[in-house]
Every structure is written in structure tokens, then in C-alpha cells.
Amino acid sequence: MLKVPGMTPETDFHARLHGGFCWQVPARFNIAQVCCARWAQGRSSAKVAVSWEHEDGRHGTLSYGELQRQAHRLSHALRRRGVQRGDRVAVVMPQRAETAIAHMAIYQLGAVAMPLSMLFGPEALAFRLQDSGAGLALVDETAIATVRAVRAECPALRTLVAVGAAAGQGDADWADELGSGDVPFAPEDTACDDPAVLIYTSGTTGPPKGALIPHRALIGNLPGFVCSQNWFGSGRDEVFWSPADWAWTGGLMDALLPSLYFGRRIVAFQGRFGPERAFELMQRHRVTHSFLFPTALKAMMKAVPAPRERYRLQLRAVMSAGEAVGDAVFHWCRKALGVTVNEMFGQTEINYIVGNCGGFVGADGRRRPGWPARPGSMGRAYPGHRVAVIDDAGQECPRGTPGDVAVHRQDVHGRPDPVFFLGYWNQPRATAAKFTGSPADSWCRTGDTAVMDDDGYLWYQGRSDDVFKAAGYRIGPSEIENCLVKHPAVANAAVVPKPDAERGAVVKAYVVLAPGHQGGEALVQALQAHVRGRLAPYEYPKDIEFIEVLPMTTTGKVQRRVLRLQEEERARSAGRA
């Protein structure tokens, strides 16, 4: 092993954790059972599952017992509305108690939860509702108007249940549907491979793809979650909070579900993120563990350089993902927050596969081991996952050689890894293209390029395709380009990341104008408004450049790579990279 400062056999437990790890995946498994039902019995039923707050000051708590009772009522209501095993149910709500209830109800019904962001514009929502064939949607006031606006385009959507302040704007209201009965719902007996969640993830070609996630994937997420949160679950007073939207993999699989799996309290905040508000929230709820995007950490660092002088924080661990944390934030977290931020890497299809684990000494005096983080590194493979850097032929690259980060279907002991998705919704070819090798001996490619050093640490190089991260959000250029081209002034468009010191990258669009139109600031603003009104706010291009022609291959494909490299060179010349 390569000798590095601070890393000794006494502090680096990575090999030992991998060697002693063994997957235990039951044949019959249901997320609602392990995240709710088992805690809604006996003394643990009174424990708080969700502490919720609204930015207008409203607040409250939901115990595990009440979470289960409400989930039973909703499962009965959904069954009365015709929802059957395998049916897709859209959940278009932010962090709130009803969102947690909805997920538990859908899972125990054997149906498939399809979380959708309240930030989605009409085109983004319509596509996902159409493609999934969702028959029912649970929607609150943050998105009810948008869903109603596209409903006519979604023939499969039979029922719209209005939640909270959206009451009266759907086919039925949440409160009326649930009623006040306490008849237990007999949960479906699901297999570990049965589908539980459908999350749409952006790609570079064509529209977004729906990644179908099985119940067992939660088990596959747990080693990474536990390690990245410095052995979450080893104490009794853990409280988790993250600003990550529960409609995304990062909020659902990296925050809500694992917190409930361990029977701990999670904080749900409905409102805009603000650095001071984040610190106040963590102080008020005595938050011990968090997932904070690098963009959020940067904002917190700039707004409150010395937070422990103003706030009484109880933080024991912070995980960060979505983009590189960077040295400045890394060292600030150590000094100002008193924790070493653990970077993590994964994606919807194969989540929580690589990262760091700081380890700690618990109140009982026992040491929970980990391995030292290296600033700038993505970390190492979490226990249970066989991760490598492979070449185009599917062969492992020599250490220090760039390649595609990939995860093997089997762990280092030859056992199936439960973290894998089932496939892309109705897209068998896209699913097959994700894998390299035979079914019994295959690698799943992430599409991210990295270098692995002699100690197994991965160092990010960039995207193998054209998807990129901007302020922590995964951006697929195709959806934005398609939206731009629908504007009468646009003949063609290409979207690439533009390096940005604050956000890592921002969305930039190169636009070829249609005949009879001229570029200018007024058109830039019009195009930005055009995208912002149809997709999500984070997808609109912050910068637009008008050009005569896009760089194309001989087969007529846009060479986004040429434009991306151009932006990187401009950033270097301007001192931004």
C-alpha cells in the first residue's frame, strides 16, 4: 500500500470492511415494511419519524405509529381508486409529511412510486406522466396548476388527488380520501426484485429515461449511507436533514428512506434554501447528520464563515455529492463545522457506490472504523460494491489510466450486488447499452471518467457522455435543446456546461437562429423565459451565444465536445478554471 500522511493500518479499515462484508438480501422484501411497519409497533411507535416545517412558520411531527396509520388509510384509498400492483403513482410534492406517507402507502400496495419535482414545467411533467402511464397523481399546491394544465395530454391519468392547500382543485382531496378509519391494510407480499420506484434521469440523446428501481436497491444503498454518515445508526439520537428534494434519488435514497430504515427522525423543510436558515434549522432540530450539495456548502461558507460562533451545532457527519467539493470547502468543513465532509459518488441506476467514511469514536467509547478522505478524490468503493475503471472493451484499466467508472453485477466475493436498477422503462436497448459483458459477468458503466490510484481512490476526470452537473443538478442537454428548438427564432441549439467558480458549471446554449431573426439581449431573455416556463428553473441557459453553424460530425450529430472544450479554454484564459 502506498504510504500517505495520516493513513496507517490503524486508521485505514477499508480492506477489512470489504473483506468481512456479506450481502444479506431476503427473497421477500418491501421498503414500507422495513422503513415503517416494523417501527410502528410497541414502544417504538411513539418515536418521531418526521419533524416538518413550512417556511411560513407552520410545524409539527409525525410518529412512526401515525405514519403507518396514515399509510394504511392511503393504501385503502388508492386501492378503491383502482391502483393495482405494479401501477405507477405520481408523487408531485416537496419535503412534507404527506410525501413520506405516500411512499409508504404505495410500496405496501405493491405499486410503483414515481416522484416528480415540483420544479418541473409543463413539458417536463407531461412527458414523464405520458411515458410512465401513471394512472393517479398525488399533488399539492406547489404543482397542482401545472399538472392540471397538462392533464389533457395524459390520457392514462385517471385521478388527481389534491393535497394540502390544493384542496378542491383535483378529482378528490387527500383529507377526504384518507378519512379517519383505522382498518389495517394487508400489505402485498413483494419480492426483493419487484419494482418500487420509477425515477426519470436525463440523458444526452432523446428524452429522459425512467430508471426502474427495485425494493432491494435500498439494501444496496445502505453500506454507502452508513459509511458516508460515519456509521449512522450506531447511536440512538441521530437526526437527519438535507435540502435535497425527496423527488430525486439524492433526497429519497440518500436521506428519507435510509433514515426511516434505521427508525430515526428526519426533518422535512418546505421552503427555499438559505444558508442562515439552514444553520437555524440544524440548531433547532439538533441535526446530527446531513447531505449537503457542494453548492449549498459554498453558500453556507460565504454567508457564515464561523458558524459555531453563532449556532449550537450537533453535527457528526456531512456527506456531499453532485460535483467536486474542492479544497476550500473541504478544509472549511473541518475547521468551521468540526467534521470532515465525506464525498460520495453514484447515480440513479446504481446509487451510493463510491465515497469516503471518516469513522468516529462513539459515546460508548467504541471506535467505528473508516478510511481517510483525500481532498479532491471521489473516494473508494463502499463495502459490497466491486468498482473499477474500465476501457471501451470492458477490461480494467491499469492504475493511473483514465477510463469509465463501472460497477460489477457481483461483489468481490461473487455475490449479486443488490444496488442495481431493473432497467430503463420500456427501453430494453438503452438498458442493454448500459452494460458491458455477459449477463453473468457484466459491468454497468456510469458514463463518468476517472482515474483510480494505487490505493483504490477514484479521481474524477469528467463525463464520458455529454450529461453534466450544474449546481448539483444533473443536466441532460437534449431536453433543453428540444425545448429551445420549439421557439420560432431557433433553428438549432447545443447545450454544454460553462465552468463557473460558484456552481461548478452553468448551463450554456449555443443557438443557430432561424431565418428572419436577429440575436440580441431581448431574444436572450425571451429564450431563457421560454425554457424556464417549460422545464425546471435550474435547466434554463444562464448564457446564450448565437452562432452561424454548430460543429457537426459527418453523420450529422452535433459535436458538443468541441463546444465544451471551447468553454473550458475560455475559462482558463479568463482565469475561471
Report the pLDDT value the prediction gives residue 467, as an integer from 0 to 100.
77
Residue 515's Cβ-side half-sphere holds a number of Cα atoms within 13 Å equal to 0
pLDDT digits (tens, 9 = 90+) for 248-300: 999 999 999 999 999 999 999 999 999 999 999 999 999 999 999 888 898 89
Residue pair 174/97 in contact by the 8 Å Cβ criterion: no
Written as one letter, the residue type at 34 is: V
pLDDT, tens only, 444-458: 999 888 899 999 999
Q: What is the pLDDT of residue 9?
A: 44
Strands, E, within 464-535: which ranges? 468-470, 473-475, 490-500, 504-513
Q: Which of 83-97, 132-146, 187-201, 492-506 has the lowest mean pLDDT?
A: 492-506
Which residue ranges does the chain devote to CATH 3.40.50.12780?
A: 27-215
Angstrom distance (rounded) from CA 258 to CA 260: 5
Residue 392: its pLDDT value, please? Answer: 87
- Which of the four CATH numbers 3.40.1080.10, 3.40.50.740, 3.40.50.850, 3.30.300.30 does domain 468-573 have? 3.30.300.30
361: pLDDT confidence band, cut at 50, 70 and 90?
Answer: low
Of 417, 534, 416, 413, the residue nearest 481 (C-alpha): 534
- Write out pLDDT tens, residues 198-215: 999 876 566 899 999 999
Q: If pLDDT is split at 50, 70 and 90, which confidence band does 6 have?
A: very low
Over the chain, what is the mean pLDDT?
A: 92
* Statement: residue 367 has pLDDT above 80: no
CATH 2.30.38.10 residue window(s) in the chain: 387-463
Under 8 Å between Cβ of 138 and 96: no
Cα distance between residue 482 and residue 494, in whole Å: 9
Instruction: Express each pLDDT in 89-121 by its tens digit.
Output: 999 999 999 999 999 999 999 999 999 999 999
**How large is the average pLDDT for residues 332-353?**
95
Mean pLDDT of 207-235: 95
Nine-digit cell string for 380: 473508494
How far is CA 368 from each of CA 11, 12, 317, rounded to the nearest angstrom?
10, 11, 13
Residue 481 host element (H or E): helix 477-485
Q: 27-215 has which fold? A: Rossmann fold (3.40.50)
pLDDT tens column, 151-186? 999 999 999 999 999 999 999 999 999 998 889 999
Q: CB atoms < 10 A from the CB of 537, how many?
A: 12
Q: Which CATH architecture has domain 387-463?
A: Roll (2.30)
CA distance 577 to 563: 16
CA-to-CA separations, 500 to 2, 218, 304, 323, 378, in angstroms, rounded: 34, 34, 21, 12, 20
The C-alpha cell of 21 is what? Answer: 462484508
The predicted structure's pLDDT at residue 413 = 86
**Cα 266 from Cα 122, distance rounded (Å):** 31
| Beta carbons of 37 and 199 less than 8 angstroms apart | no
Quote the percentage of the chain above a pLDDT of 70. Answer: 95
